Amino acid sequence: MHNPLIESVAGGLAEIQGLYGAFSFPEKLLQKIWLRRDFDVRAARTVDGRRVQVVHPGRWNLLGGPDFKLARLRFADGPEVVGDVELHLRASDWDAHAHARDPAYAGVLLHVVLFPPERGYVTRGAGGAEIPMLALLPLLHHDLEEYAAEEAVELLANRPAARLTNELAVHAPADLRTLLELYAAGRWRQKVHFAGLRLQRLGWEASCHHAALEVLGYRYNRAPMLRVAARWPLADWAAGRVGMEEVLAIEADAWSVQGVRPANQPRARLRQYAAWVAAKPSWPAELARWGEMLPAIPAAGETRTQRRLHRLPAVRDQLAEEVGADAVGGSRLDNLVCDAFLPLLAARSRSDDRRGWWFHWFGGDVPPFVAAGLRQLGVCDGRVQPFCHGLAQGLLGWLIEREVRR
C-alpha cells in the first residue's frame, strides 16, 4: 500500500501527499470506512497484538459523544462485548480532545485510528484504564487517495451537471479535449498504480478474483464482496465449495439492497460469478493470455475511428466469451474491463500498451452526471466522438481534483 506523507492533521481533516499531489482525507470518511467495514476485518489486530473481531460496527452517532454506539466486538478468543467505538485520524487526538475526562466516553471499548500510533503510545480512559487501539491504515483494501476520490464521486453525484461543468465550457473544443485527455491519463496511471499494489499483496490469481467480485458489488456492496473474496478464494468457487446461502448469511447485516435494481442485488451478482467460475475456473489465466494478444493502440484520435480500426466490438465479444464465459455482459462487463482487467494487465506487464484500449473502451456504469456533462460540453456527440471510458474518466478526474486537492 502507498505510504502517505502526512502534511498536516487538524480539525478532523488530514492533508496528505498523494501520488499526484496533496489531497484531503476527512475523519468522516474514516467513519464511513469503519461503518462499511471496508478493510481486511479478518486480519484486524489491536496495536498490542490481540485479534479483534468486528461482529457489528455499531450505530453511527452523528451527535455528541463516541462516534459509534452499541458496537459488538470480540477480543482474542473472549466473549462478545457491546459498547462504544471512537475514531480519530491520529491516536493523540484522544488526548487532545480530553475524552478521558468526559463521562460520555466511559463506555468506549475500542479506539480506532487511521495512522498507526507512535511506539509506546497507549489510549487511556477514565481512571487511567487502557483502551485497546486498532490502526486501520495497514488493513485498508485501497490507497487513501482512492478512498478520497470515491468519496468525492459520491458528493458530486448530488450536484447538477451544469454547475459542475460551467468552468470547462469557456475552453475551445480542442483545448477542452486536450485537458480531458490529460486528466484521463492521470486516472489511468492511478488505476494501474493501485492495481500494482494489489498484485504485490495478493498475486495474479487472487488479485483477479478480488477485483472481479469488487466490481460486481458496485460501490455500496464493494466492502462485503471483498470480504467474500478473502474468505472464499477462487479455488473454493471452482471446486463448488461455496454455499450461496452461507455467503449471503455471513454478510447479512452488510449488504446494501435499498434502491439497487434486481439484476444488481448481491444474490444475483454472486450467482453470476459462481456461473462464471464454474464455466471458466482458470479465468485469470485466460485473461492473461487475452491481454498478451492485445496490440498497442493510441489513446489520441477519434474514438469512432479507433473502434473501427481495431474492431473493439468484436474484441469485446471475444473477451466476454473466452474469459467471462458470457456470464457477464453489458455495462458491467465494461466496468470489469476498465476498472479491473486492463489496469491489472498493465501492472502485470509494466507496460502502457493497454492505455489506448482503456481510453476508447465503452463507457460502462459511469455516474449519470458525467455522461450528461460530456454531452453539455459538446465533447461527445454520439457520432464522430461517441461516449467512451477515457473521456468520462477525464471529466471525472477533473471534478475529483476540485474536491480533494488543495
**14-49 pLDDT, tens digit each:** 777 766 567 788 999 999 999 999 999 999 999 999
Report the SS3 class of residue 149. helix
Q: How far is CA 401 from CA 162, 174, 186, 209, 391, in A?
A: 17, 21, 11, 30, 15
Secondary structure letter of residue 71 according to DSSP? E
Q: Where are the domains of the chain?
A: 41-139, 144-404
Q: Check residues 139 and 5 and name the one with the higher pLDDT.
A: 139
Torsion of CA 312, 318, 320, 325, to 10 degrees: 180
Of 94, 95, 114, 158, the closest CA to residue 25 belongs to 114
Which pTM value belongs to this model? 0.86
Mean pLDDT of 75-81: 93
Contact of 208 with 324, CB cutoff 8 Å: no
Amino acid at 230: A
User: What's the full length of the chain, in residues?
Assistant: 406
Percent of the residues in the chain that have a pLDDT greater than 70, as a whole number: 94
- What integer is the mean pLDDT of 368-391? 86
Which three three-digit cell numbers place residue 236?
A: 473454493
**pLDDT score recorded for residue 261:** 84
pLDDT digits (tens, 9 = 90+) for 84-113: 999 999 999 999 999 999 999 999 999 999
Closest CA to 181 of 10, 287, 364, 303: 303
Res. 406 pLDDT band, cuts 50 70 90: very low
Type of residue at 79:
P
Q: Is the pLDDT of residue 12 over 80?
A: no
- Strands 21-26 and 108-113 come out as unpaired
Does the pLDDT value for residue 8 go beyond 60?
no
How high does pLDDT run on average in the chain? Answer: 90
C-alpha cell recorded at residue 21 = 499531489
CA separation for the pair 248, 253 (Å, rounded): 9
Banded model confidence at residue 260, pLDDT cuts 50, 70, 90: confident
Mean pLDDT on 274-295: 96
Q: Is the pLDDT of residue 58 over 70?
A: yes
Distance CA 96, CA 111 (A): 14
CA 19 to chain centre: 16
| pLDDT value, residue 22 | 74
302-357 pLDDT, tens digit each: 899 999 999 999 999 999 999 999 999 999 999 999 999 999 999 999 999 999 99
Let me know the angle formed at the C-alpha of 162 by 161 and 166, rounded to the nearest 5 degrees.
125
pLDDT for position 143: 84
